[in-house]
Amino acid sequence: MSETPFEGDMPVTEFREAGHRIVDWIADYLEQGPRAPILAAVRPGEVAAGLPEAAPEEGRPLAEMLDEFQTVLYPGLTHWNSPRFMAYFPSVASGPGILGEMLAAGIGQNAMLWRTSPAGTELELRVLDWLRDLLGLPEVFRGHIVDTASISSFLAMAAAREARSDLQVRTRGMAGRTDLPVLNVYASEEAHSSIEKGVIALGIGQENLRKIPTDEVFRMRVDALRQAVEEDRAAGRLPLAVVATVGTTSSTSIDPVPEIAEVCAEHGLWLHVDAAYGGVAAIVPGHEQVLAGCERADSLVVNPHKWLFTPMDCSAFFVRDPALLKAAFSLVPEYLTSRSVGDEVVNLMDWGVQLGRRFRALKLWLVLSRFGRQGLARRLAYHIQLARELADRIDAQPGVERLAPVNFATVCFRFQPEGWTDEDGDLEARLERLNAAVMEKANAGGEVFLSHTKLKGRYTLRLSIGHIRTTREDVTAVWELLTRLAEEEAARIG
C-alpha cells in the first residue's frame, strides 16, 4: 500500500490573502450597500442551476470560489443587511457583530461543558447577566443563548411541564397514560406561530393551545384568558402555561403582562414572555414599561439577532430558575462527566436539548461593549423616533390609514384613497388589491423591501425600522416612493 502523504489545511498564506479580501469585501458592502435589489429577484432554482451538481474532484483555490460567490450566489441574496430592508423584523449584522462571528469561527470553540470552554461558558453567562440588567429584569433571572426564539419558547414550555414534576413526563412520557390530564397552554391569537410549533413538538397537542382573543389594539384579553383557564380546570384539564407577547409579530402589540401574571399566580401557571422583537426597547430610558410585569415571569426571550444589531443567530433565553431547565434536560453520560470540577460550574449542555454550543456570546459581547448601554439606547431611540415621525405623517396624510399603535419602530398602515366607497360591498377586496400591488411594485423596484400581514381581516402593510444604518432620509425616500406608487395604482385599479 502506498503511503498517504500529509496535506493539511489550506496554506496560511492563502488563508491570509483570502481573509483580507473577504474583510475588504464586507467593508465595501457595509459602506456602499447592496448593488442589487434588496429582495432577491431570482426565480426558484436559478441559484441551484449555477452550481455544480457534485463537489469538485480536486480542491479549487479559494480566490476562485469568491468569484463564484459574486456571480452565482450574490444575485440570490435578499439583503437583510441593507438600511432599506424594512420587511418582517430587522436582523442586523453590525460591525462588531460580524467581527465577533469571524473570531468565534477562528477559535472553533465548543462550549458544551464548562471545561471544554471555560471562557465560552463564563462569557455567555456574564453577557446575559449584562443583557438582563440592561433590560431591567430582576437579578434572579439567568440566561443562556440559543439559536432562535422558537427554540427559547420550546425550552420554556418544556421547563413549565417539568415544573410539574408530579406529572412524571420526563420519565414516563405522555402517550398511553390514563392518569395524565390534557395539558393546556394559552397564548393570544396574535402570538407567534413558534408557540404552536412548540406545543406540537412537546406532544401537548395543537388543539390544546388556547388562542385567546385580543382587544381592539391586538392585546390578549385577560378576561377571556381567565375564563378559558377556569373552563379548562372545571373540565378536568390541566392549565400549564401562558405565553404573553411583548411586541407581537403582526402589529407589535403588547399583552397586559401585569394582569396576565396575576392570573398565572392565582392558578399556578408558568408565565413565559415572548419579547423576541420588542423586549430590547426596555434599554431606552422612558421605555422601560414595555417589560412591565415581566419581573414576575418564569421565563422570557429576547432576540439580539433582531433589533440589537447582532448577526443571526442569537436568541437570549432567561429563566427564573435554571434548576428547572436542568431538571428537564440534564442527562450526563459517562463520557461527559468532569470529575475535577463539580457543581460550582455551569455546563451549558444541561440547560437545553443541544450538546454542542458555538461561541455566540463573543459577538454579543462585542456588540454590547462597542456600543455601550447609552449607545444602544440612542440607536433604538432613533428608530422609535423615525417610526413615530412616519406615523404622524401617515395620520396627517389623506388617503392612508394607520392600522395599529406604534409601540416600537414598526408602522402598520394601508392606503385607502379618498372617495373609494363600499357601494358594491367589495371595498376590502379592492383595498387588498391596491395595497398588495403597491408592495409588489415597491419590492420589485429593488430600492426597498416591505412585507405585509392581516389585522382583523384587513390587508396591512408593515414598515419596520431597525437597521443600524437606516436614516431619516431612507424612511422619507421610501415613504415618498410608496405614496407615488399608491397614487399610480389607485388610478389604475380605480
Minimum distance, C-beta of residue 277 to ligand PLP, in the bound complex (Å): 4
**Contacts with ligand PLP, 313-342, as mask; x by CB under 6 A:** --x---------------------------
Dist CA 388 CA 411 (whole Å): 8
Are 410 and 463 contacting, i.e. CB atoms less than 8 angstroms apart? yes
The answer to the question of residue 416 lying near ligand PLP (CB under 6 A) is: no
Name the minimum Å distance from CB 313 to ligand PLP: 7
CA–CA gap between residue 421 and residue 424 (Å, rounded): 8
Is the Cβ of residue 194 or residue 435 nearer to ligand PLP in the bound state?
A: 194
Residue 274 Cβ, how far from ligand PLP at the closest point, in Å?
5
Q: Minimum distance between the CB of residue 379 and ligand PLP, rounded to whole angstroms?
A: 19
Q: What is the smallest separation between the CB atom of 247 and ligand PLP, expressed in angstroms? A: 6
Minimum Å distance from CB 84 to ligand PLP?
20
DSSP of 89-107, one letter per residue?
Answer: S-----HHHHHHHHHHHHH
- Give the footprint of ligand PLP on residues 162-181 (CB under 6 A): none
Strands 410-415 and 400-402: antiparallel
User: Does residue 238 contact residue 181 with C-beta atoms inside 8 Å?
Assistant: yes
Tell me: does residue 109 bind ligand PLP (CB under 6 A): no
The three-point CA angle 454-34-474 to 5° equals 60
Binding of residue 303 to ligand PLP (CB under 6 A): yes
Considering only 40-48, 95-103, 143-151, 470-478, which stretch makes contact with ligand PLP by CB under 6 A?
143-151
The residue from 109, 184, 245, 410 that contacts ligand PLP (CB under 6 A) is 245
What b-and-e string marks burial along 151-165, b requiring 16 or more CB atoms within 10 Å of the CB?
Answer: bbbbbbbbbbbbbee
Residues near ligand PLP (CB under 6 A), total: 15
| 149 touches ligand PLP by CB under 6 A | yes
By the rule CB under 6 A, 192 interacts with ligand PLP? yes
CB 125, min distance to ligand PLP, A: 21
407 near ligand PLP (CB under 6 A): no
Q: Which residue has the cell 426564539?
A: 149
Residue 247 or 311: which CB sits closer to ligand PLP?
247
CA angle 304/307/313 to nearest 5° reads: 40
Instruction: Please state, in angstroms and rounded to a whole number, the distance separating the CA atoms of residues 465 and 90.
Output: 7
**Shorter beta-carbon distance to ligand PLP: residue 224 or 254:** 254
Q: Which is nearer to ligand PLP, 224 or 276 (CB)?
A: 276
Strand partners, 44: none
Is 89 a binder of ligand PLP (CB under 6 A)?
A: yes
116 binds ligand PLP (CB under 6 A): no
Q: Are 182 and 205 in contact (CB under 8 A)?
A: yes
Per DSSP, the three-state class of 478 is: helix
In contact, 285 and 377? CB cutoff 8 Å:
yes
Per CB under 6 A, the segment of 32-40, 67-75, 241-249, 368-376 that binds ligand PLP is 241-249
Cell numbers at residue 51, please? 452550481
Residues 254-283 vs ligand PLP: string with x where CB under 6 A? --------------------x-xx------
**Burial of 206 by CB count in 10 Å (0-12 exposed, 13-18 middle, 19+ buried)?**
exposed
Q: Which stretch binds ligand PLP (CB under 6 A): 197-205, 244-252, 415-423, 448-456?
A: 244-252
CB-based contact 237:184 (threshold 8 Å): yes
Cell of residue 356, nine digits: 454542542
**C-alpha grid cell, residue 493:** 385599479
Chain contacts with ligand PLP (rule: CB under 6 A): 89, 148-150, 192, 194, 245, 247-249, 274, 276-277, 303, 315
